[in-house]
């Protein structure tokens, strides 16, 4: 049974009053709150188990190396990879995508090649490709989405061709909530000989992922959005592809043999984890993913689906409110504007009411412009949100309207 009120008790910060009001946290899309088990685990490691990994000849170092590698195996289970060697720990999804752009893109792309992305990308899945384009002379193609934020198969298929070497798309938009048909898109990409990368930053927070079933070549997500700590991210890559890629950064831990003249590099994933990694964060992430899997990914999805329906209805009853991103296939991301109140003014009132959401372009400036705005408000759901949270949001928006 998924009892959201019981689950909320495991997130201490949700019990805190904000400006004297209940903490109505609707910004999980930016970063999620952490359950007590993650906090406890990290505290324990720092208090009792800490040492560096992969080097010591003493008990603490051996133990923590096992814990760190155990975290990798938890990630393996979370996204169902064939091998734990296909999991690279990074700082965040941004670094995961930059790693692919720098190591794979620079080596394998040239003039005449094309990268295909969508209009709905986060800056983290746009700017690295612009950079690779400028360095290699390849072309960056961007397929259109519908005005309501829907994915349009023909727009995607139209730009997919022999020249396409990489398709890099979000699995779920952080502004529109739109969910892309990743498995079908990966198949189409492979049909023209392109690799397929998906930015699963938002998708991983709400859905079961199976990289073997999706058949994606790369997948990225961030620990801090999946109820884990900040400072840790994941890059999944198919082993035979990772194996052909040069290192991203160089230094300790990623080498095989080093002399003054020449260095040979370690096999993946060590090749891509230069220097001391985010040890405790990786272990904390493992704990967070176990927490989600214990609740049941299907239960999380079902709970949020019901809330998404509720929020969509409640928000559409507010006069003057325009929802941005109303695709049929969407998750718990609600971007909106009020015709009569600037997002900044509204957010000020909402904060006084204890409601946390984000305003701005949400690191997707071209997308927000394409939808016709400079700045929008965005409420995002997490597994701990309730209908009461939505009711408080609606009440606070109504209150904001009376001020202006």
Ligand X SMILES: *Cc1c(COP(=O)(O)O)cnc(C)c1O
Q: Which is nearer to ligand X, 41 or 378 (CB)?
A: 378
205 is a contact residue toward ligand X (CB under 6 A): no
386 is a contact residue toward ligand X (CB under 6 A): no
Q: Are 242 and 86 in contact (CB under 8 A)?
A: yes
The region of 1-9, 199-207, 211-219, 327-335 touching ligand X under the rule CB under 6 A is: 199-207
Q: DSSP E strands: which ranges in 58-181?
A: 87-90, 114-118, 139-143, 164-170
Minimal distance, residue 145 CB to ligand X, in Å: 14
Q: Are 378 and 333 in contact (CB under 8 A)?
A: yes
In this chain, which of 98, 170, 335, 385 binds ligand X, going by CB under 6 A? 170
124 is a contact residue toward ligand X (CB under 6 A): yes
Minimal distance, residue 112 CB to ligand X, in Å: 28
HSE on the CB side for 306, CA within 13 Å? 12
What is the residue-wise DSSP string for 7-48? Answer: HHTT-GGGGSEETTEE-EE-BTTT-----HHHHHHHHHIIII
The region of 68-76, 91-99, 148-156, 255-263 touching ligand X under the rule CB under 6 A is: 91-99
206 is a contact residue toward ligand X (CB under 6 A): no
164 is a contact residue toward ligand X (CB under 6 A): no
199 is a contact residue toward ligand X (CB under 6 A): yes
What distance in Å separates the CA atoms of residue 251 and residue 276, rounded to the nearest whole number?
A: 10
What distance in Å separates the CA atoms of residue 166 and residue 107, rounded to the nearest whole number?
A: 13
Q: Provide the b/e sequence for 132-150 (b: ≥16 CB within 10 Å).
A: bbeebebebbbbebeeebe
186 is a contact residue toward ligand X (CB under 6 A): no
What token pair was written down for 314? 């409640």
Q: What is the CA 96 to chain-centroid distance, rounded?
A: 11
In this chain, which of 53, 79, 93, 242 binds ligand X, going by CB under 6 A? 93
202 is a contact residue toward ligand X (CB under 6 A): yes
In this chain, which of 10, 23, 98, 222 binds ligand X, going by CB under 6 A? 222
Q: Which is nearer to ligand X, 122 or 206 (CB)?
A: 122
Say which of 138, 201, 216, 363 is annotated catalytic.
Answer: 363
What is the residue-wise DSSP string for 207-273? Answer: S---HHHHT-SEEEEEGGGTTS-SS-EEEEE-HHHHTTSPPSS-STTSEEEE-SS-EEEPPTTGGG-
In this chain, which of 94, 164, 178, 385 binds ligand X, going by CB under 6 A? 94
27 is a contact residue toward ligand X (CB under 6 A): no
The region of 103-111, 144-152, 195-203, 300-308 touching ligand X under the rule CB under 6 A is: 195-203
Strands 114-118 and 24-25: unpaired
Tell me if residue 363 is catalytic. Answer: yes
What token pair was written down for 126? 């746009």
90 is a contact residue toward ligand X (CB under 6 A): no
Minimal distance, residue 124 CB to ligand X, in Å: 4
Interface residues with ligand X (CB under 6 A)? 92-94, 122, 124-125, 170, 174, 199, 201-202, 222
Which residues carry out catalysis? Answer: 363
């Amino acid at each position: 049974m998924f009892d959201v009120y019981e689950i909320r008790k495991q997130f201490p910060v949700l019990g805190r009053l904000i400006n004297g009001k209940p903490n109505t946290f609707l910004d999980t899309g930016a970063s999620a709150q952490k359950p007590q088990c993650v906090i406890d685990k990290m505290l324990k490691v720092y208090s009792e188990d800490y040492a560096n990994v992969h080097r010591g000849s003493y008990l603490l170092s051996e133990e923590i190396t096992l814990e760190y590698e155990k975290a990798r195996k938890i990630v393996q289970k979370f996204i169902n990879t064939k091998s734990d060697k296909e999991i690279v720990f990074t700082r965040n999804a941004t670094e995961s995508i930059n790693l692919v752009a720098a190591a794979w893109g620079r080596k394998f792309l040239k003039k005449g090649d094309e990268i295909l992305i969508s209009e709905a990308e986060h800056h983290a899945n746009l700017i690295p490709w612009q950079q690779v384009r400028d360095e290699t002379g390849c072309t960056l193609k961007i397929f259109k989405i519908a005005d309501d934020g829907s994915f349009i198969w023909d727009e995607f298929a139209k730009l997919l061709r022999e020249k396409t070497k990489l398709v890099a798309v979000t699995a779920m938009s952080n502004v529109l909530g739109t969910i892309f048909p990743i498995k079908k898109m990966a198949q189409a990409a492979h049909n023209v000989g392109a690799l397929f990368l998906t930015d699963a930053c938002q998708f991983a927070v709400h859905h079961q992922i199976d990289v073997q079933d999706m058949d994606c070549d790369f997948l990225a997500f961030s620990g801090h959005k999946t109820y884990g700590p900040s400072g840790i991210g994941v890059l999944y890559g198919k082993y035979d592809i990772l194996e052909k890629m040069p290192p991203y950064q160089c230094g300790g831990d990623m080498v095989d043999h080093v002399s003054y003249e020449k260095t040979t590099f370690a096999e993946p994933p060590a090749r891509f984890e230069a220097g001391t990694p985010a040890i405790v964060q990786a272990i904390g992430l493992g704990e967070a993913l176990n927490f989600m899997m214990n609740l049941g990914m299907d239960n999380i999805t079902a709970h949020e689906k019901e809330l998404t329906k509720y929020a969509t209805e409640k928000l559409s009853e507010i006069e003057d409110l325009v929802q941005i991103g109303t695709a049929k296939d969407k998750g718990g991301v609600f971007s909106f504007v009020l015709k009569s109140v600037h997002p900044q003014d509204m957010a000020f009132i909402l904060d006084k009411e204890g409601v946390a959401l984000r305003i701005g372009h949400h690191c997707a400036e071209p997308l927000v412009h394409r939808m016709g705005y400079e700045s929008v408000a965005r409420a995002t759901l997490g597994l701990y949100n309730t209908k009461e949270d939505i009711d408080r949001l609606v009440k606070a928006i109504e209150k904001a309207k009376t001020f202006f």
